C-alpha cells in the first residue's frame, strides 16, 4: 500500500502535466482550424481605376492567394431604372473596378495594417477596405485564448515538475542505504539508480495511457460535440495516435529529467 501511495504522488503531478499538454495541443489545433475558416470568409476589397492582376499584387503582398473581380451588375441594375441610357453609360464608364483579395494566412493586426498601406501605394488603386475592426476583434480573441492556454500549461508544468522532483528525492532517500552499499561494491551511477529510473518510466507510461484514454472518452461525449460545433471546428482536432506518441515522449523525458535533477540535488546536499 505504501508503494502504491508513493507512485500515486508521482503519477498525480505527471497527469496534471500531460493534461495541460494535451489541452494545449487540442486548443492549438482548434485555433488553427478556426483561423482557416475565418480566412476562407475573409477578403480585402480593392477599388482600382484600371485592371489589376494577381501577379502585380503578389509582387507587393507575398501572401496574396487570389484576386477576383467583383461584378458591378447588382449595383448598376438598382440605379438603371432611375436614369436615362446616356447617363447610365457614363456612370458605367466612370465606375471603378472592384476586386476581392484573399490571403493564404490569417494576418495579425500589425501585418494587416502593412498590407493595407502597401496596397494603397500600388498605382491605380484608389482605396482598400480591410474590415480591420472586425478582423482585429477575431484575431485578438484567438490570441487571448492561445496566450491563456500557454500560460496555464507552463505554470502547471512547472509546478508538476517540482512536485515530481520532490517525490523522487523521497524515493532516493528511502533507498539511500542500498545505494551506498552498491556504491561500496563499485556499482555505476546508472545501476545504483536503476530503481528510480524504472519506476519513473513505468509511471510515465501509466500516466500517458490514463490521459490518452481520458481524452479518447471525452471526444465521444455530447459535451465535446457541442464544443466543436460552437467553435465550428471538426473532429480532426483529436489525433490520438500522434498525441499518444507526443505524450509518451514528453512524460518519459520529463521523468528522466526529474530523476537526474533529484540525483544531482541529493548529491549536493
The per-residue DSSP string of 126-164 comes to EEEE--HHHHHHHHHHHHHHHHHHHHHHHHHHHHHHHHH
249, pLDDT greater than 80: yes
Q: What is the pLDDT of residues 115-161, one digit of tens each?
A: 888 888 888 888 888 776 666 676 777 778 888 888 888 898 889 88
1, pLDDT greater than 50: no
Q: What percent of the chain has pLDDT over 90?
A: 9
C-beta separation of 93 from 76 below 8 A? no
- Please state, in angstroms and rounded to a whole number, the distance separating the CA atoms of residues 27 and 211: 16
Sheet holding 125-129, edge to edge: 64-69, 97-103, 44-48, 125-129
Average pLDDT, the chain: 79
78, pLDDT greater than 90: no
199, pLDDT greater than 60: yes
Give the global pTM. 0.70
Q: What is the pLDDT of residue 208?
A: 93
Q: What is the pLDDT of residue 32?
A: 79
C-beta separation of 145 from 27 below 8 A? yes
C-beta separation of 10 from 207 below 8 A? no
Which position has the higher pLDDT, 248 or 27? 248
Amino acid at each position: 500500500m505504501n508503494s502504491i501511495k508513493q507512485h500515486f504522488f508521482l503519477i498525480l503531478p505527471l497527469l496534471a502535466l500531460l493534461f495541460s499538454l494535451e489541452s494545449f495541443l487540442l486548443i492549438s489545433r482548434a485555433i488553427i482550424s478556426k483561423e482557416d475558416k475565418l480566412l476562407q470568409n475573409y477578403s480585402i476589397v480593392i477599388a482600382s481605376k484600371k485592371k489589376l492582376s494577381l501577379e502585380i499584387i503578389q509582387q507587393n503582398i507575398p501572401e496574396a492567394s487570389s484576386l477576383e473581380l467583383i461584378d458591378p451588375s447588382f449595383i448598376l441594375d438598382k440605379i438603371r431604372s432611375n436614369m436615362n441610357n446616356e447617363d447610365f453609360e457614363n456612370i458605367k464608364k466612370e465606375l471603378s473596378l472592384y476586386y476581392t483579395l484573399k490571403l493564404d494566412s490569417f494576418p495579425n493586426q500589425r501585418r494587416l495594417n502593412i498590407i493595407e498601406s502597401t496596397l494603397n501605394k500600388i498605382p491605380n488603386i484608389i482605396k482598400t477596405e480591410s474590415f480591420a475592426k472586425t478582423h482585429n476583434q477575431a484575431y485578438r480573441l484567438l490570441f487571448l485564448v492561445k496566450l491563456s492556454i500557454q500560460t496555464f500549461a507552463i505554470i502547471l508544468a512547472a509546478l508538476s515538475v517540482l512536485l515530481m522532483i520532490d517525490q523522487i528525492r523521497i524515493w532516493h532517500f528511502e533507498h539511500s542505504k542500498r545505494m551506498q552499499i552498491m556504491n561500496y561494491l563499485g556499482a555505476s551511477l546508472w545501476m545504483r539508480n536503476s530503481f528510480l529510473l524504472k519506476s519513473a518510466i513505468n509511471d510515465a507510461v501509466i500516466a500517458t495511457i490514463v490521459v490518452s484514454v481520458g481524452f479518447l472518452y471525452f471526444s465521444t461525449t455530447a459535451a465535446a460535440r457541442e464544443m466543436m460545433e460552437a467553435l465550428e471546428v471538426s473532429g480532426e482536432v483529436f489525433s490520438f495516435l500522434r498525441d499518444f506518441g507526443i505524450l509518451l515522449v514528453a512524460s518519459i523525458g520529463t521523468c528522466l529529467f526529474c530523476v537526474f535533477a533529484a540525483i544531482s540535488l541529493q548529491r549536493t546536499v
